Amino acid sequence: MDKKELTGLGESVLLHTYNRFDMVLDHGDGMYLYDIDGTKYLDFAAGIAVCAFGYNNKTYNDALKAQIDKLVHTSNLYYNEPSIKAAELFCKASGMDRVFFTNSGTEAIEGAIKLARKYYYEKHGSADSVIIAMDHSFHGRSMGAVSVTGKKAYREPFEPLIGGVVFAEFNDYEDVLCKVSDKTAAIIMETVQGEGGIYPADKVFLQKIAALCKEKDIVLILDEIQCGMGRTGTMFAYQQYGIKPDIVTSAKALGCGVPVGCFAAVEKVASAMVPGDHGSTYGGNPFVCKAVETVFGMFEETKILDHVNEIAKVLWDELEAIKSEYPVVTGHRGLGLMQGLEFSIPAGPIVKEVIKNKCILISAGTNIIRFVPPLIVEECHIKDMAACLRKALDTVTAGSEK
């Protein structure tokens, strides 16, 4: 089937929850993706911050091929070596004590919410807890995850959601403080808001929140599903703030493409969970955990974090130059290789025009483009992307002031 036939079939059989672009991706190599018709695209989306080492990485591919020949799935009724090794590596990297592997980021959020509420229940003997979440946040689309997502448009069509959730303004400590009560079980936030517009937590804000949680024995949940696993220049973004959460969630680059996430906790909180409190048929199976184990090995072997910190400066400078050249660019922010440009015009037409120029970018909200390339990105790729973006901006703003 050709591209037109495949996209037409896709429109007829897939649930229409995405407005997909007119391409059928077939394979990838390094920083590039290839359509079924052979068109080559420079990728600055990484599958929404998933493919940290790009595409067709031999070390990664060989490890998964070997695991397929050994064991793909058993269940969590038995131990398997990849899950134990992956858990050990995650704990070492994150400073957590215990891990539960999930199939996705949204499931990791579900588990984190349950664990925080169980900890409160064990402590107080009642189930009347409240969770404080942040405005403009995004934690996923399942019923629990969307309940703590700070965008009414994502929540309202699916109400009633889980109760006991209140929202506070991100980076406003006083607003959070006034929402705290003796029923507060947890405070949940992204260390860097992704879908909400690439907003890093203010350092003083997050440090004060961490101190507040410690003082009042409130569980601090940090969602590092997008900003974790090296994207900001440290393995986890909170490591740049001098604090440690009680629970952290991870996914996306954790497995670099296989469906795996996790929530992990310090021992005091983790011990609230007992057999029967949570489970997953597929979560932590040997195949996905071999991917996690391999990814951590690749981080160590390639010293990729050093590269991220160096190349992120190149991306920052290039985006700053674009901001200075085009008045429609009204903001630039981010950490490491998780950066965003804000526009005074909708981002959608710009993204579509960039794709016409054979480069893939994605938006975050209606007027922000996020830049989350594979961590292996080099200066030449940044220059090529910037040229595609400038060309797109020239086209979109033609006939008006840049």
CATH number at residue 381: 3.90.1150.10
280 within a domain of the structure (yes/no): yes
Same domain for 95 and 40: no
- The answer to whether residues 237 and 191 touch, using CB atoms and an 8 Å cutoff, is yes
- Residues 229-256: what's their mean pLDDT? 98
Q: What is the pLDDT of residue 365?
A: 87
Same domain for 100 and 177: yes
Same domain for 280 and 139: yes
402 within a domain of the structure (yes/no): no
Burial 233-263 (b: 16+ CB within 10 A, else e): bbbbbbbbbebbbbbbbbbbbbbbbbbbbbb
Same domain for 222 and 150: yes
* The last residue of a domain, from among 287, 302, 317: 302
Tell me the residue type at 388: C
Q: What is the pLDDT of residue 176?
A: 98
75 within a domain of the structure (yes/no): yes
pLDDT band (50, 70, 90) for residue 399: low
| pTM attached to this predicted model | 0.96
401 within a domain of the structure (yes/no): no
Same domain for 277 and 197: yes
- The answer to whether residues 40 and 55 touch, using CB atoms and an 8 Å cutoff, is no
- The answer to whether residues 127 and 163 touch, using CB atoms and an 8 Å cutoff, is no
Same domain for 128 and 247: yes
124 within a domain of the structure (yes/no): yes
- Residues 360-366: what's their mean pLDDT? 95
Long-range Cβ contacts of 345-350 (<8 Å, 24+ apart): 345/396, 345/397, 349/396, 350/389, 350/392, 350/393, 350/396
Same domain for 247 and 114: yes
H or E segment at 155? helix 152-155
- Residues 226-254: what's their mean pLDDT? 98
| Other residues' Cβ atoms within 10 Å of the Cβ of residue 215 | 8
Q: What is the pLDDT of residue 401?
A: 55
Quick: pLDDT tens for 282-328: 999 999 999 999 999 999 999 999 999 999 999 999 999 999 999 99
81 within a domain of the structure (yes/no): yes
In this model, does residue 353 exceed pLDDT 90? yes
> What does the mean pLDDT of the chain come to?
97
- The answer to whether residues 327 and 394 touch, using CB atoms and an 8 Å cutoff, is no
Quick: pLDDT tens for 109-138: 999 999 999 999 999 999 999 999 999 999
Same domain for 37 and 65: no
Same domain for 106 and 220: yes
In this model, does residue 402 exceed pLDDT 70? no
In this model, does residue 19 exceed pLDDT 80? yes
Quick: pLDDT tens for 51-94: 999 999 999 999 999 999 999 999 999 999 999 999 999 999 99
- The answer to whether residues 109 and 249 touch, using CB atoms and an 8 Å cutoff, is yes
Percent of the residues in the chain that have a pLDDT greater than 70, as a whole number: 99
* The last residue of a domain, from among 302, 328, 356: 302
Phi, psi of 22 (to 5 degrees): -80, 70
- The answer to whether residues 137 and 124 touch, using CB atoms and an 8 Å cutoff, is no
Same domain for 121 and 104: yes
Helix boundaries (H) for 224-359: 267-270, 286-302, 304-325, 348-356
Same domain for 89 and 25: no
Question: Which DSSP string corresponds to 359-386?
Answer: EE-EESSSSEEEE---TT--HHHHHHHH
Same domain for 72 and 38: no
Domains held by the chain: number:
2
* The last residue of a domain, from among 302, 323, 358: 302
332 within a domain of the structure (yes/no): yes
DSSP three-state, residue 227: coil
Q: Which domain holds residue 380?
A: 3-56+303-396
Residue with token string 């400066």? 313
Question: Which DSSP string corresponds to 111-140?
Answer: HHHHHHHHHHHHHHS-S--EEEEETT----
37 within a domain of the structure (yes/no): yes
Helices (H) and strands (E) in the chain, counts: 14, 17
In this model, does residue 35 exceed pLDDT 60? yes
Question: What sign does the dihedral 306-103-362-140 (CA atoms) show?
Answer: negative
